Amino acid sequence: MKRSKPAPNNFGMLHDLKMKKEAKQIRVQEKYEIQGFISSGTYGRVYKAKAKEPKINEHGMEIECVYAIKKFKPDKEGDTHSYTGISQSAVREISLCKELCHENTIRLEEVLLEDKSIYMVFDYAEHDFLQIIHHHSQSERKPIPEFTIKSFLWQLLNGVAYLHANWVMHRDLKPANILVTADGVVKIGDLGLARLFHHPLVPLFNGDKVVVTIWYRAPELLLGSKHYTTTIDIWAVGCIFAELLALKPIFKGEEAKMDSKKNVPFQRSQLTKIFEVLGTPTKERWPTIDHQPEYNNLNSFRPYSNTLREYYDRLPSAKSEAGYNLLTAMLEYDPIKRISALDALSHPFFEEEPEPSFGSFEGQEFKYPRRTVKPEDNDIKGGIPAISSGASQAGVKVSANKKEDGRNSKRIKVEQ
Amino acid sequence: MAANFWASTHGQYWMLDEAALRKSRETDLKYLKEIELAKIRGEDVYCFVLNLTSWFLYLVIAALGRRLNVRQVIIATAITYFKRFYTKNSYKNTDPYLVAATCMYLACKMEEFPQHIKSVILEMKNVTADQGGFGYDNQKVAEMEFYLLEELEFNLIVYHPYRTLKTLAIDLGQKSDVIQRAWHIVNDLFRTDICLVYPPYMIAIAAVGFVIMIKEARANHNGIDTRTRKGNGSVGGVGSGSRNEGRGISGIKELKQWFSGLQVDMEKVLEIIRNIKNLYSQWREVNEIKAQDVLRKLREAQNKS
Ligand SMILES: Nc1ncnc2c1ncn2[C@@H]1O[C@H](COP(=O)(O)OP(=O)(O)O)[C@@H](O)[C@H]1O
Ligand SMILES: [Mg+2]
């Protein structure tokens, strides 16, 4: 390597850009009134906020704009604490959300950068599938109405079909990431793991060793597939459909943790849960199963028979034969045979009464509780420094809004 | 979005016209006059010097990409970021080396081939070792990344002609060398601002059209047109193919027929082809040493100010 001349340390150059940015800088606090925080997730925190300036609609009327602001903490090097720029997950989510525009995907209002943190401002959604499932299993103690489930499922598939048609794989579909507006419109959220899949530069496996929260992870992923396809999203949708019906996860396995060398362990427990319901996969059901890297591990399982029929028939709100057919088509072992989002949308299930609608709550006599918004604890390091007076005065110490069953937090990532 | 170019941020916000581009160069043109770069006068000459600079910076970014072992697509994305940034900023006020390294760092993340910030810096040091070096650390590159994101308006997904070339390759079949040659032309085109002006699929088609034109010209001259060959010595093998391709006139006829059947605005494609011809006619005038020289003076002037 040639020795370089003393490098011009041109900090003045950055100074210019800094001035430029500061001149037009909109501070988060100036534009939005933070009403409290909603969730503390993998990458940062999600806050509820109101725009200080209301928007004016075409009739000259003020419309109140409520947002969910997702704050990404700066990416730091583990030990050295030196700042290394924006995380890959933020790059993914920002780049995709900037492009996406669909009724059933969450809309990104804007992105703000401030003090080394990134703030993504999304339209606020009052509910999510997880919260609604919880409400029915804990408080209501009644199944979700058939019409609501069907409307949820149809809109979810509608959003997924849009993503797939645009070469986006979501890779983290689960109830906590499927939002619902107060009017019952489904909005797919959390694109932090999503990616474009045309001409992947590297086998998908290299980027993230583990994708999809374990309970929603497709069998080909559990068996070590390296070149998976959009069908992994459909498996997750199948699991979500079953969960909306049963009010509990259909395949609730224990995640085998990664060892210190970051080898991906064999997910015996999760596979057992799947086999218990769907039966052991055979070469008839999945002709290329023997190409799966973990195929040999399957010898050590005892044979199970397919009990999905019994499982479905026990569910109180699952009465439709077409619904059962659709579920089996989504929980198909062989990824090639698994139904596509587009085909699922025109499945007979959706032509039967009650037909799905964008207003998933129509005709419901009860209302779901609003999302809990906790007042910000001012001491939480890295939180938005000061929030609107009302909330901060409460001064209550609150811990992160973690769901006790881990559905909200079990996402493991290995990034290069 | 991804499936439809015109619905993407690239198609909606980043297709600029020549006039807008010229306007974005005004500060730098004035600046070049001020610092009497290259001691020459006349608008055209200054424009030329400016093109020279951007040409050289292409080489810097491409070299950085090769050192990091990244694919051509990532280099193309980095260069597009770089060019987009400089439609809103001037060489006068920003250090193109810092911007270049940051564009590469961000492009690698965007294209799912993340690189350690330190490796990008290290390789940038190597690439620029004999041109004043690179004196920025993690913090500065990360800070620059923030400014870059903002200037890019967070529109990070970039379309490239390569994807269209791959689609066209299916039509042409494996035996054809047209796509491979067009591929190199597309690479070369990133030295110019074409990616800011024309949609990527048209650039791809124009590159293919250019290859067919050359083939036709060569066939007509029955392989004696050595002038074209010399002139295009470094243009990725165009015109330097083996003489016994066995395609002959009939092959070219077929190619032309196939080409004219493509559903595309042929006016625009011809415009791009003119740009391609321009690029290769400039090729001999632009020499790397001259470009390096210009850039060095530019950076020196920055340091003084
Ligand atoms: N637009 C939104 N409106 C309301 N709540 C939201 C919104 N986006 C996210 N949330 C809440 O915040 C949680 C975490 O957000 P998410 O985008 O999934 O980030 P993470 O990567 O941390 O999982 C969600 O599960 C949901 O409860
Ligand atoms: Mg989430």
Ligand 1 near A188 CB (within 6 A) = no
pLDDT per position as a tens digit, A283-326: 999 999 999 999 999 999 999 999 999 999 999 877 899 999 99
Tokens of A416: 């290069």
Window 283-302 of A, Cβ < 8 Å to B: none
Token output for A329: 């088509």
Q: Quick one: pLDDT at residue A398?
A: 31
* pLDDT above 80 (res A39): yes
Closest ligand 1 atom, CA of A42?
22
**Is residue A333 lining ligand 1, measured as CB closer than 6 Å?**
no
Does B161-282 carry CATH code 3.40.50.620? no
Residue spans of the domains in chain B: they are 16-157, 161-282
More confident residue, B21 or A309: A309
Amino acid (1-letter code) at residue A20: K
pLDDT band of A349, cuts 50, 70, 90: very high
Closest CA to B133 of A12, A9, A14, A13: A9
Mean of pLDDT over chain A: 83
Task: Reply yes or no on whether the pLDDT at A248 is more than 70.
Answer: yes
pLDDT the model gives residue A210: 63
Global pTM value:
0.86
CB-based contact, A166 to chain B, within 8 Å: yes
Angle between helices B43-67 and B26-34 (to 10 degrees): 110
Give the closest-approach CA distance of A12 to chain B in angstroms: 8
**Ion ligand 2, residues whose Cβ is below 5 A away:** A 177, 190
Q: Please, which pLDDT band fits residue A400 given cuts at 50, 70 and 90?
A: very low
> Do A99 and B154 lie within an 8 Å CB cutoff?
no
Tell me the average pLDDT across A4-25: 62
Q: Tell me which of B214 and A226 has the higher pLDDT.
A: B214
What ipTM was reported for this prediction? 0.85
Tell me the CATH number for domain B16-157: 1.10.472.10
| Mean per-residue pLDDT of chain B | 83
Q: What average pLDDT does range B24-42 have in this prediction?
A: 69
Residue positions counted in chain B: 305
What pLDDT score does A396 carry? 31
Contact (CB, 8 A) for A69 and A49: yes
Q: For residues A15 and B77, what is the distance between their CA atoms, to the nearest angstrom? A: 26
Residue A378: CB within 6 Å of ligand 1? no
On the question of pLDDT at B50 being above 90, the answer is no
- The Cα-based distances of A406 to A131, A132, A214 in angstroms read 13, 16, 11
DSSP for residue A105:
B
